[in-house]
Amino acid sequence: MNKRYKILLGLLLPLLLLYGCGVDGGELAVGTAPKAQPSAGTAPEEKPSAQEEPPSEEEPDPIYITFDGTDLEGNAVSQEIFTQSKLTMVNVWATYCNPCLREMPGLGELAAEYDPSEFQLIGIVSDVREGEDLSLVESLVQETGADYPHLLANDSIGQAILSSVSGVPTTFFFDGEGAYLGGVVGAAEKSDWEELIHELLEE
């Protein structure tokens, strides 16, 4: 298993995903599915003979996404934003989601504590599309202190990111080249995110 996925599994399985909007607790996000275990009564797997080489564990090909969108100030944003930082955390939230709003003050503090060239945080408002009234979104961002860029939903972001979201909050991580590192469905405490961010930056 890829080291970055081991980090995500090891840190997040015991403590995350206990609550969220529209998801079942305990669900793990895209890219971190456990290997299937043999059911009862299944014959044990045969060991390779001396002539056979065991299958090699190759690193999976990196996953990259492309999108075009705008933030709350109307600035154009694309996948190029990932190249501005060593690690990017993309937090998908919704205006109706209490767990999302409860974790946003901690996310705002995280965004302010790191050098932007090392770590940046981006929000995506899943239930407000470009061109719609932004007053509620702007009010919630101000109230929660989530002072980092927030993108609005559109067809491009919907296809690239929101199509992989089964509930909110959902968080994705990307490296400085825009490669997908893993994701988590559910909210977490600031300290838990800090631990995960530290491990991913040290990788």
Q: What is the pLDDT of residue 60?
A: 82
Ramachandran angles phi, psi of 180, nearest 5°: -70, 130
pLDDT computed for residue 81 by the predictor: 98
pLDDT-flagged residues of the chain (< 50): 1, 5-7, 9-19, 23-50
The helix or strand, by DSSP H or E, that contains position 119, with its residue range, turns out to be strand 119-129
Q: Give the per-residue pLDDT at 41.
A: 41
User: How far is residue 189's CA from residue 187's CA, in Å, rounded to a whole number?
Assistant: 7
Supply the pLDDT for residue 49: 44
pLDDT computed for residue 35 by the predictor: 26
What is the model's pLDDT at position 132? 98
The pLDDT value given to residue 2: 53
Asked if residue 140 lies in contact with residue 60, where contact means CB atoms within 8 angstroms, the answer is no
Assign 30 to helix, strand or coil: coil
Please answer whether residues 86 and 201 qualify as being in contact, where contact means their C-beta atoms are separated by less than 8 angstroms: yes
In angstroms, the CA 76 to CA 202 distance is: 31
Kind of pairing between the strands at 76-78 and 68-70: antiparallel
What pLDDT, on the 0 to 100 scale, is given for residue 11?
42
β-strand 87-93 against 170-175: which pairing, if any? antiparallel
From first CA to last CA, the distance across the chain in angstroms is 14
